[in-house]
Amino acid sequence: MASGHLGRPAARRQLVATGAARYHQRVVTRKYPLDPLKRVRAERVDQEARAFSRALGEVEKARAEAEQRDRAKRDLERSLSEVARSERERLEKGDLSVADLARGAAFGIAGEIQRASHERSLEQARAAQARAASEAENKRKGLASARAAAEAVEKHHGKWQKTMRAEAIARDEESAEEAHRARPKGRGVP
C-alpha cells in the first residue's frame, strides 16, 4: 500500500523513525553560554582603544598648539625688547623728537596689549592641553577597565572549556565502563 510518493503516511513512516531522535553526546557541541558577552567585551576593548588613541592625538595637538603659542609669545617679547633697546639708544643720542616719543609711548601700550593677548592665548592653550591630558587619562582608565572585564570573561571561558573537557573525559570513561560491563563474561565459551 505504500507508494513512492512522499505525501503518503506510509512513506513518511518509512523515512522517519518512530522514536525520539537522539544525538550522541559528542555530536552535539555546547556553545559557550557567555559568548555574546565575550564578543561585546572584546568590541568594547576595541572601542576604548580607539577612543584612547584619539585622545592621545588630541593631547599631541594641544601640546603642539601650546608650544607654538609659547614660541609666538617669546618672539613678541624678543621683538618688543629689541625695539625698546633701539628706542633707548636713539633717546640717549638725542635723535628723537616729541612726536617720536609719543609714537614710542603708543607703541609701548600696543606692545603691552599684544603681550597680554599672547599670555591669554598661551594660558588657554595650556588649559586645553591639560583638559586633553585629563581626557586621555580617563580614556586610559576606561580602556584598562574594559580590558579587565574582557580578561575576566576570557578567564571564565578557559575554566568553562576545562570543565567541558573534564565532563567529556568522564562521559568517555563512563561509556567505556558500560561497554566493558556489557561484554559477555565467558570469552572462550562457544
User: What CATH class does 34-158 carry?
Assistant: mainly alpha
pLDDT band at 36 (very low <50, low <70, confident <90, very high): confident
Statement: the pTM of the whole predicted model exceeds 0.85: no
Give the integer Cα–Cα distance in Å for 48 and 146: 7
Q: Which of 32-46, 54-68, 166-180 has the highest mean pLDDT?
A: 54-68
Write the pLDDT tens digit of every residue in 55-111. 999 999 999 999 999 999 999 999 989 988 988 888 888 887 888 888 888 888 999
| Ramachandran bin of 96, using left for φ above 0, alpha for ψ from -120 to 50, beta for the remaining angles | beta
4 near 11, Cβ under 8 Å?
yes
**Boundaries of every domain in the chain:** 34-158
In angstroms, the CA 148 to CA 178 distance is 45
